[in-house]
Each structure stands twice: as C-alpha cells, then as structure tokens.
C-alpha cells in the first residue's frame, strides 16, 4: 500500500520529509535558545530539548498514522 502511494503520488515523500526536517531544525534552535535557562531552572541543560523531542516524536507518530 505504501509503495502504491509513492508511485501514484510523486509529492507524498515531500509531505512526509518536509515537516520532519523543519521540526529537526526547530529542535536545534530550541536547544540553542534554552540550554542556559534549562540549566538554571532544572539543573539540566537538555530539559527543554527532551520535552520538545517527546512532542516531536508524538507528532511524527500522528502524522504517519493519518
């Protein structure tokens, strides 16, 4: 079934990869912007990155589900 989607619709791969790539870039920006604040508030400089990565993975799961 998935192979038929790739053959029938050339833009299907872009609909999957573009949000993933943009979200990964956003995760890098979140880490750069909040590492000091996360360390000051919780003692872990990766606090906000971990939190956002969980939501990213849940979002990718929902994207693939639908």
Measured distance between the N- and C-terminal CA atoms of the chain, rounded to whole angstroms: 14
Q: What is the pLDDT of residue 6?
A: 58
Quote the pTM value.
Answer: 0.70
Q: How many CB atoms lie within 10 A of CB 44?
A: 12
The model's pLDDT over 22-60, given as tens digits with 9 standing for 90+, comes to 999 999 999 899 989 988 988 888 899 999 999 999 998
Band of residue 2 on the pLDDT scale cut at 50, 70, 90: low
Pairwise pLDDT comparison (64 vs 59), residue with the higher score: 59
User: b/e for 14-43, b at 16 or more Cβ within 10 A?
Assistant: eeeeeeeeebeeeeeebbeebbeebeeeee
């Amino acid at each position: 079934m998935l192979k038929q989607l790739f053959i029938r619709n050339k833009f299907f791969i872009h609909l999957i990869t573009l949000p993933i790539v943009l979200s990964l870039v956003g995760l890098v920006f979140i880490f750069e912007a909040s590492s000091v604040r996360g360390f000051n508030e919780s003692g872990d400089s990766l606090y906000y990155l971990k939190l956002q990565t969980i939501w990213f993975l849940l979002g990718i799961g929902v994207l693939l589900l639908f």
